[in-house]
Amino acid sequence: MAASLLLGRATWPVDHAAALWWGAAIAALGYALGSRFAPAATRPWTTVAFRLGLAATCSWMFAGILAGWLTGVYHWWFGAGASHAYCATLRTAVLALTGLALAWCGARWNRPEMSRLMYPFLLLGAYRLAAEDLHEDRKVALFLSLLVYGAVLTAIPKLRKPYAGSS
């Protein structure tokens, strides 16, 4: 369901909202529990892969919820006949901003798995930009998509530097 909210044309599923929230909560709990053990220097590759999978599931679920909620609010506010071009812009922005948030969290809290997940989210944002946003009929929506994606690409190198306040 999160994939259709992020990459497809689905809007907020009123019928399945509880399942999405439960899935996101369980993924967040799994990541929180899985990231507490094994210091960074002594982690085997299986632990690193496991933490990467948990972080990917958690961030994917929350990004899907955010995209579904934003498109649902957009269609509620402007009606069912609202242009889907702005929904595509919202989904692209969610993917790009999730990549930005993962880069910031990875540098801030010393979570390399989050920094590694930045790349798939930015690649999916580029895919949405090329496959969906470029083919919509509204030029303003395309401009906003390009603006958000370009701003995120500009901000990423600054955010990937280690946080100065960490010890």
Query: What pLDDT digit, counting tens, does each position of 145-165 carry?
Result: 999 999 999 999 988 766 555
User: Global pTM?
Assistant: 0.88
Tokens 């999160």 belong to residue: 2
For 167, residues 6+ apart whose C-beta sits below 8 A from its C-beta are none
Domain assignment present for residue 27? The answer is yes
For 37, residues 6+ apart whose C-beta sits below 8 A from its C-beta are 47
* Domain count within the chain: 1
Displacement of CA 131 from its chain's centroid (Å): 18
Domain assignment present for residue 20? The answer is yes
Model pLDDT, residue 1: 77
Q: Where are the alpha helices (DSSP H) in 15-131?
A: 17-34, 45-78, 84-108, 112-131
Tokens of 59: 């961030």
Domain assignment present for residue 167? The answer is no
Tokens of 107: 């540098």
Domain assignment present for residue 166? The answer is no
Task: Note down pLDDT in tens along the chain; length 167 residues.
Answer: 788 888 887 777 767 788 889 999 999 999 999 887 655 556 688 888 888 999 999 999 999 999 999 998 998 899 878 888 999 999 999 999 999 999 999 998 888 899 999 999 999 999 999 998 898 888 999 999 999 999 999 999 988 766 555 44
Residue 30 structural domain: 2-159
